[in-house]
Amino acid sequence: MNQTFDAIVIGAGVIGASVAFHLAERGLKTAILERKTVASGATGYSSGLVRMHYDLAVEAELTYVSYKNFYSDWKHRVGGECGFINTGFLKIVKREYEDKLRGNVANQQRIGINTSVISAEEVRKLFPDVATDDFDYAAYEPDSGYADATLTTNSFIEAAKRNNATLIQNCEVTAIHTAGGKVTGVGTDKGDFAAPIVVNAAGRWAKHVASLAGVEVPLETWTHDVAFLHRPPSLGKFPTVIDDIINGYFRPEGSALILAASEEDSLRGESPEADDQTPSPTFLDKLIDNMVRRIPKIEESGLQSIHVGRDGLTPDQRAIYSAAGPDGFYLACGLSGTGFKTSPAAGASLVELILDGAPKTVDITPFRFSRFAEGKLLEGEYAYGNIWK
């Protein structure tokens, strides 16, 4: 198969799908090359949180723009479904981080995010089943919640196809072709594809794909265990929560289940090819103990299932959206387990960088690839530390 395109996106996860959508919307004949199937990597295992609380303002802005311009009006902006459910969102931190919580909320309010610091008493009034004895304040976003990452990805791809994009699945990239310092296309196990623009959105395989273009990306495979618990019949309404005290997060999953995960003890350094679905030995016991601490009625729950997801993790646990290596080669990778919620605006901003020379939707310059060589790793303005311990 030898075909010519205006742009090639490697990877049909949510960020690759978003980039392809925005490229196609701008009129470029775009190919999406996926080594397996749509959303078969990290996206298919995403917890799908749509929250705007970050300790790095540019990440909060990416999510805010994604929510405002996409998730809140998905059917009209993209078409299809994204599965967004508004549950509200709480960010709970240790008491010693209260000043940082307030600083981050103030930054987010300046962006335009509907967020505030509320007391533990206010949390109890909103969500009576949430225990609040170990914190005094939390950040609350009434507009946030969660969405379905696979639905979102498929909607992006279907919209891109309506604008003349082509999806080719089970197609592994084996070479990045260049001439005169410029990208000319890719080689795959299904033949060669020519294009002057190639975007590496290959998830945990992005390090390998980048190496084909002579680019060394500091990326390791990060493995994350997620449980689905049965929802106790007596449990009332509760929000999507990221809880630094219990080192985890949780949210409703429909009306019958609870999705819950830990932010500690995640395995690092597996091969990108790893697909074992066995969680770490201590995952479930720790998770249940911590969940009972925050919602005592979880004692009445039981395990429905566990899945194991994997993504590419950078040294500062922040994404890379950037040109790199030969002219026409771009990175949209290293999402570090938090890329889903930012993907609509991140894709738009990267496409603006590619086609217009500078991003306009959100200034993604902080996510440049060169920050690693410059020794300027990203750190939040009011940092809580690394997400994944």
Are 164 and 293 within one domain?
no
Query: Distance from CA of residue 291 to its chain's centroid?
Result: 23
For 384, the 3-state DSSP assignment is coil
Residue 2 has a pLDDT of 63
Residue 305 lies in a domain: yes
Residue range 56-76: mean pLDDT, rounded: 97
> Quick one: DSSP state of residue 268?
B
Residue 69 lies in a domain: no
Are 140 and 251 within one domain?
yes
Domain boundary among 278, 309, 340: 309
Are 179 and 154 within one domain?
yes
Residue range 133-156: mean pLDDT, rounded: 98
Q: What is the mean pLDDT of the chain?
A: 97
Are 304 and 320 within one domain?
no
Reply yes or no on whether the pLDDT at 12 is more than 90. yes
Residue 389 has a pLDDT of 64
Residue 64 lies in a domain: no
Query: Distance from CA of residue 212 to its chain's centroid?
Result: 25
Q: How many domains does the chain have?
A: 2
Separation of alpha carbons 171 and 121, rounded Å:
54
Find the CATH number of the domain harbouring 236. 3.30.9.10
The domain of 298 spans 89-145+222-309
| Sheet containing 173-179, strands listed edge to edge, beginning at the edge strand earlier in sequence | 3-4, 191-194, 182-188, 173-179
Query: Distance from CA of residue 359 to its chain's centroid?
Result: 19
Burial of 75 (0-12, 13-18, 19+ CB in 10 A): exposed
For 286, the 3-state DSSP assignment is helix
Domain boundary among 286, 309, 332: 309
Q: Which residue has the tokens 């994997």?
A: 310
Domain boundary among 309, 337, 357: 309
Which tokens in the block code for residue 288? 């249940």
Are 245 and 129 within one domain?
yes
* Residue type for position 224: H
Are 171 and 115 within one domain?
no
Residue 266 has a pLDDT of 86
For 69-74, the CB contacts below 8 A with 24+ separation are 69/344, 69/345, 70/344, 70/345, 71/147, 71/344, 72/143, 74/152, 74/155
Are 367 and 294 within one domain?
no
Residue 160 has a pLDDT of 98
Residue 264 has a pLDDT of 82
Nearest to 238 by CA among 335, 338, 146, 337: 146
Are 175 and 203 within one domain?
yes
Summarised one tens digit per residue, pLDDT across range 332-364 is: 999 999 999 999 999 999 999 999 999 999 999
Residue 183 has a pLDDT of 98
